[in-house]
Amino acid sequence: MLSPEEWGIVALSLKVGGVAVLATLPIAFGLAWVLARYRFPGRVLLDGLVHLPLVVPPVVTGWLLLIAFGPLGPVGGWLDRWFGVTLMFRWTGAALAAAIMALPLMVRAMRLSIEGIDRRLEGAARTLGATPWHSFWSVSLPLALPGVLAALVLGFARSIGEFGATITFVSNIPGETRTLPLAIYSALQVPGGEAMVTRLALLSVALSLAALVLSEWLVRRTHRESRRHGD
């Protein structure tokens, strides 16, 4: 059984992960749509920038967030001056770090789903009088929906497992930024923390495994739907 402190850590992790993927969803879908449907100068560069968090050390991502969203950063200073909003040492900053790290996985899953849509179906909707916007909502989006859901699951799993960028950007503050991986790291540093590490590690593995299984099921369903509509 988890202690009240550990339940608080789990609740914070779920909140950070949920906010991260919901805030990232429209941005990730827009990027996936552009990369899947359009050819333009700089497309390769945009693709590289989107996937950059996958290959650079997470600490570097956290450092860049610190420069941009810190009190003296261009974005952080602007948010503080005009809206009184600060992300440093706050759970919202942890959600931002998690969102940045989850973005590449979400874009990739959605892009594969969008590329699998049979564009002849969209053309057929157009010939029946549908506007491009109506065709998107009635044909394209429903066909891409399993990929979108898979992206949400993958992004959520990545968000609750984020460590390096989070601890660099918003530190490790109990009750505010200490999510599951940070709590495991902290428990490893104190004598007698092995039991807590074990409980939280097993919970993390269970959540991640469930997310991967659900994501794989959604991807397979997307492939089946694509083949069925293709036939």
pLDDT one digit per residue (tens) for the chain, 231 residues: 778 888 899 999 999 999 999 999 999 999 999 999 999 899 999 999 999 999 999 999 999 999 999 888 899 889 888 888 888 889 999 999 999 999 999 999 899 889 888 888 888 888 888 888 888 888 888 888 888 988 998 899 899 999 999 999 999 999 899 999 999 999 998 888 888 899 999 988 888 888 888 877 776 766 666 566 555
Q: How far apart are CA 51 and CA 33, in angstroms?
A: 15
C-alpha distances (whole Å) from 169 to each of 5, 6, 49, 126 are 23, 23, 20, 48
User: Which single residue is written with the structure tokens 């600490």?
Assistant: 59
Q: How far apart are CA 180 and CA 98, in angstroms?
A: 12
Q: What is the pTM of this model?
A: 0.87
For 161-187, give one letter per residue: b (16+ CB within 10 A) or e: bbbbbbbbbbebeeeebbbbbbbbebb
Residues 58, 54, 106, 186: is their CA dihedral positive or negative? Answer: negative
Structure tokens at 30: 């827009």
First-residue to last-residue Cα distance in the chain? 51
